Structure 1
């Protein structure tokens, strides 16, 4: 027996295993594409797969090759076609199936490109049920087909009258991305960002054309309605840098930051450098030592830089690390400071009305901050005491704002993306979720009852209302989203009238005081099953009447049907199914052009005739078959 144990724990040459490229990607997909997910979140893996292929098309455009990219997504099949130079025909198979193969190691060919390490399309290939690549160069075409990274057919070169370029078709592997679906709004946002960063590029997505003439100015015009802007958009451009900014009436700071065309959703050195340099330039221009928070309060800014060989903190490139702008050149901090000191200062001197409007917004923020100072201090002291034994919050171990460890960064980043807080109503629901949750990445915040309707109120109410103040502290968003502790904020209420009302009140709180949480896709609604249909062999959970009918038909006979009327009725064991790998989340998405204050006034303001007519015209009564009987 001792000999058997010794053999089990021996560390010999046989213990060392070498995985080939596709095995490694499939075994550790999080290292290459972040979290997996089902498509309900914008950073889920299926969108990263699309991005990795499109990035290559954008790099071709940046180098002056091809002005159009076509993207078609039908059901679960993605096809992406560019009109660049095309992959050299002799390397078509290698480029999509051999790690460390690509042109982007030669900085003369691809300067300041997005895809630097030659991993992107290999990851897409390895994580797809089916993957096909075709390259057209000078009247010849070469194609290759793969399944889960394995070459199944390499076609011979043949003649063609197609234009030069590359076409990739793939179907994500449904054994990796379980129950996945594409949400068009997320894809549209991705596509618009490509266009804003590459003025003149045309992207055709499922037949609809997207193009931007004015770059980041167009981005802010799309994101901030004209009547919300405190002054016209300031648009500054230089070599390898572009900035657009304005102020609105929302709380917090709103940034869209990019490096080499990559949307760095978690910011990084370029965003930090902008925030610091902007404050210094404003202080110098007005010759007044304004508080930094007053200068940046309500700012909406887009910042894009291009650098040689950027260092990202993860393969998914959502945060820029410390770098110099050019080899041997200035640091990002110096570069940003020099640019804004020259360009923004010049702009404000030449545009006095805009400078005056900016000054008024800063001084308004200053007055509001001073009015809040006293009550804020008392509220924070109360919250600090409550946090020591806060029964409302059952925290988790890994948070979105945690510093990554020295080793195992990629795995840690994947966990950070999974960090979730469930906002529940009452003790019974929160009790079930608390028992079933993953202590590693899932926290629970329990509401006492119906929260306050925050529409039309000032931020003073957040500090006066203990429950809202504790929620603000649990999320760590008092000073903006930089310290946000959870990537996903999930409203988990019953699917009855009271639950819907609580859901609306919580969403009103976020839209009124922290709209960036919604704009940055952090807010979700938890979908829980309405029915359980089972016989002795199988149990099926159903989220609609249609799913119930389908389950009954599948099981046959007379299966047992249970109607869940509240979250508290679902046992912790069952709840584990609904908040684990099979979690169904409905993202809260603002449609383009939505004016937040108009939305809140319509749904949460005084009961107008317009709203009464909407309710009457859209009221639906669904009767359960068992109720009818």
Structure 2
């Protein structure tokens, strides 16, 4: 250590942060990535979820059967009808770390949020935060900004029913250009309803309610035909729903712990996948291949764990090995449950057992028919990957548990070398990869998985993403289609969306597929440069930059220099998620985009183009349009 450093290092260098300062300095420790709302796991949805979780815990404690949620632009209001926060502790409950009612395991034995951090994080990360507690004819209100108390009102009389209401507006200095997307909130609330039968959730006037739990969830998520009625079995602390699709080629799971949607699975999902294969093998007394047993399965599993351990504050992956401190392991608990309940069900319903066996035999035959092609395709992909000029890989990957920035990983699927060249030169080599297409990809609508192995480009893309067998090994968190803003570019987008819908729908269902938005115009004067993504933004820039600014119109990604491109794929990146709306199915989308409804599709493309000075430009499109 140098002499200067030794002299300068004193008591003044040691600093203790206030609780809100620490949260605001390191928000990722509390809510995961920040984001702008284009991903379902972005921070603004975690804020929403943290507050709803408290209301759900009240329902689970048999207090309050209704939750009202309003999202108006950037403001969120959540009102439950539980017991209400004790009035003397309202301020402490939302602003003092390690203060809460869940540390006593007897009161909240199987709660989602046990660390007392969630509500405080929402408070600290909100520009405006208000808590109102109604309890036995009295009301207590307090308002905060960025975790600092602004108003602490005295208790008042009220005629409102018991419960808690929290309103907040996320801080725009932290959540840049954020936008709440209705589709993501709806999915979250539907899951809450399925996991809490009898609870009524009202979101902006729309009601979410379930009577049959996970059976309702599968019925909602099913597409096409199933080969047998849903198996719905449950016991204390566990509920399972299982069926098989006649079309899907993949395994589809919905997993939950204490009401939390564990999108990355964890010990409970691993145990379920193992237990299902074990039970089926023992029932039929045959050593079937695990892949054949699970192929096309659609299942939901929910368990309750005492004092759960998650791998992060956002609670997307269970790390607990035990159901309770003195209870069995999660693995043993789930294996024993399926061995008894599923085995009993199959003995009582032989027609379902026969359907499952037929499905396994068909899967086995299909696997053997494809095995030769798969082997050749894998060898070819492995050989090409050593000098594959189409893939410029990054250093960190989403499936690497030790990668510090794995959530930031992206792969850009581009058309042609000019566009991929600009992105490659301006990308972050740690987390951003580029895959270059050769012209328009094959229209794979209605084709079988065989084409993925026989088409070199699709096979290389599948190998780059590492999703041949399951989504668990996906190498990039965000798969981004980056095409020109013209008719050809839109057509390539549709072809790529079709490819993923046809063969890897879970990529879309799990929120990994996006469209890159790139600017249509650059407007600048001597002092300032504005990049405009729409004609409205162009007009606004013209009005604000004064007389005679220079206007450049970008007709293709290749026209944007690497120095400029870094602005569009860096911290200010604009991504449009490809999401399935509540009333849309993959089958319907495929038929619309690539079926025989040519006039409808032509009208759709025309309606999504902007005509400017006799030039055709494409607006951004996603699968919800």
Q: Distance in 2 between matches of 1:358 and 1:312?
A: 34
Q: Distance in 1 between matches of 2:615 and 2:237?
A: 66
What TM-score do you get using the length of structure 1 for normalisation? Answer: 0.95
CA contact (8 A) 2:593 2:601 kept: no
Give the corresponding residue for 1:260.
Answer: 258
Give the corresponding residue for 1:154.
Answer: 152
Q: Distance in 1 between matches of 2:605 and 2:444?
A: 25
CA contact (8 A) 1:144 1:155 kept: yes
Q: Distance in 1 between matches of 2:603 and 2:434?
A: 36
- Indicate yes or no: 2:175 matched with 1:177: yes
Q: Distance in 2 between matches of 1:55 and 1:597?
A: 34
Q: 5 Å matches for 1:335-354?
A: 335-354=333-352
Give how far 1:44 is off. Answer: 0.4
Q: Distance in 2 between matches of 1:71 and 1:186?
A: 14
Give how far 1:292 is off. Answer: 0.2
- Indicate yes or no: 2:123 matched with 1:125: yes
Provide closer, same or farther for how the CA distance between residues 524 and 618 of structure 1 changes in structure 2, counting only shifts above 3 A: closer
Q: Distance in 1 between matches of 2:233 and 2:276?
A: 13
Give how far 1:430 is off. Answer: 0.8
Give how far 1:627 is off. Answer: 6.0
Q: Distance in 2 between matches of 1:293 and 1:618?
A: 40
Q: Distance in 1 between matches of 2:551 and 2:296?
A: 51
Provide closer, same or farther for how the CA distance between residues 480 and 555 of structure 1 changes in structure 2, counting only shifts above 3 A: same
Q: Distance in 2 between matches of 1:426 and 1:488?
A: 20
Match of 2:543 among 535, 543, 553: 553
Give the corresponding residue for 2:606.
Answer: 619
CA contact (8 A) 1:455 1:604 kept: yes
**Gaps in structure 1 of 5+ consecutive residues:** 406-411
Give the corresponding residue for 1:595.
Answer: 585
Give the corresponding residue for 1:363.
Answer: 361
**Gaps in structure 2 of 5+ consecutive residues:** 617-625
Give the corresponding residue for 1:7.
Answer: 7
Match of 1:459 among 449, 454, 461: 449
Q: Distance in 1 between matches of 2:91 and 2:193?
A: 29
* Secondary structure at the counterpart of residue 592 of structure 1: coil
* Secondary structure at the counterpart of residue 113 of structure 1: coil
Give how far 1:6 is off. Answer: 4.5
Give the corresponding residue for 1:234.
Answer: 231
CA contact (8 A) 1:310 1:323 kept: no
Provide closer, same or farther for how the CA distance between residues 461 and 323 of structure 1 changes in structure 2, counting only shifts above 3 A: same
* Secondary structure at the counterpart of residue 136 of structure 1: strand
Q: Distance in 2 between matches of 1:299 and 1:473?
A: 23
Match of 1:484 among 463, 474, 477: 474
Give how far 1:439 is off. Answer: 1.6
CA contact (8 A) 1:223 1:592 kept: no
Match of 2:507 among 517, 522, 543: 517
Q: Distance in 2 between matches of 1:523 and 1:187?
A: 18
**Which deviations, in whole Å up to 9, do the C-alpha atoms of 1:342-368 show, x marking residues without a partner?**
011111111112111111211111111
Give how far 1:132 is off. Answer: 0.5
RMSD: 1.6
Give the corresponding residue for 1:61.
Answer: 59
**Which deviations, in whole Å up to 9, do the C-alpha atoms of 1:590-628 show, x marking residues without a partner?**
1234332343233213xx3x4325534873463324869
* Secondary structure at the counterpart of residue 623 of structure 1: strand
Give the corresponding residue for 1:408.
Answer: none
- Indicate yes or no: 2:379 matched with 1:381: yes
Q: Distance in 1 between matches of 2:610 and 2:101?
A: 59
CA contact (8 A) 1:222 1:593 kept: no
Give the corresponding residue for 1:245.
Answer: 242
Give how far 1:191 is off. Answer: 0.4
* Secondary structure at the counterpart of residue 171 of structure 1: strand
Q: 5 Å matches for 1:506-585?
A: 506-585=496-575
- Indicate yes or no: 2:309 matched with 1:311: yes
CA contact (8 A) 2:517 2:576 kept: yes
**Which deviations, in whole Å up to 9, do the C-alpha atoms of 1:213-261 show, x marking residues without a partner?**
1000000000003x42221111111000000111112121111100000
Q: Distance in 2 between matches of 1:33 and 1:186?
A: 16
Q: Distance in 2 between matches of 1:613 and 1:293?
A: 39
**Which deviations, in whole Å up to 9, do the C-alpha atoms of 1:403-431 show, x marking residues without a partner?**
237xxxxxx3xx22211111111111111
- Indicate yes or no: 2:41 matched with 1:43: yes
Give the corresponding residue for 1:432.
Answer: 422
Give how far 1:63 is off. Answer: 0.5
Q: Distance in 1 between matches of 2:605 and 2:23?
A: 48
**Which deviations, in whole Å up to 9, do the C-alpha atoms of 1:177-223 show, x marking residues without a partner?**
00000100100000000000000000010111110010000000000
Give how far 1:499 is off. Answer: 1.0
* Secondary structure at the counterpart of residue 531 of structure 2: strand
Please, which moves more after superposition, 501-510 or 42-51? 501-510
Give how far 1:578 is off. Answer: 0.8
Please, which moves more after superposition, 253-262 or 440-449? 440-449
Q: Distance in 1 between matches of 2:341 and 2:458?
A: 41
